[in-house]
Amino acid sequence: MNAKEQEIVLKARRQAEERAKGYREQALKLYPWVCGRCSREFNHSNLRELTVHHRDHNHDNNPSDGSNWELLCLYCHDYEHQKLTEAAYGGSAGDTVSAGATYNPFADLKARMQRKG
């Protein structure tokens, strides 16, 4: 990357961090410090592990009432995004119903046994 590109990336990262600080602080004031998925509780010493998840995955949608946010621990937050990624590729994490196997290795066993004998 050249110097101009590096400057653009750095500026974008700074802006994203500033934007995140705003809605993060709001969310931490609105909601109890508990993960919305696993119910893990947080305090000042481990608060950095509690993230703000955008329910619609749009980081620019930050209504002041917090209706697009939920507090999730790092692990549950990663899981939420993993589900989205997998869904884009035709599968999704957490599916409880899986398709049964379609291959039957014993389908022609009787015929094979008769040929051998």
User: Of the candidates 99, 95, 47, which has an alpha carbon nearest to the alpha carbon of residue 73?
Assistant: 47
Say what the pLDDT of residue 20 is. 67
Top pLDDT among 117 and 67 is at: 67
Q: Which helix (H) or strand (E) holds 71?
A: strand 69-73
Say what the pLDDT of residue 39 is. 94
Residue 60 pLDDT exceeds 80: yes
Say what the pLDDT of residue 111 is. 83
Top pLDDT among 76 and 90 is at: 76
Top pLDDT among 115 and 33 is at: 33
Please list, residue by residue across 78-100, b when 16 or more beta carbons sit within 10 angstroms of its beta carbon and e when fewer do: eebeeeeeeeeeeeeeeeeeeee
Structure confidence by residue, pLDDT tens digits, 91-102? 655 555 555 567
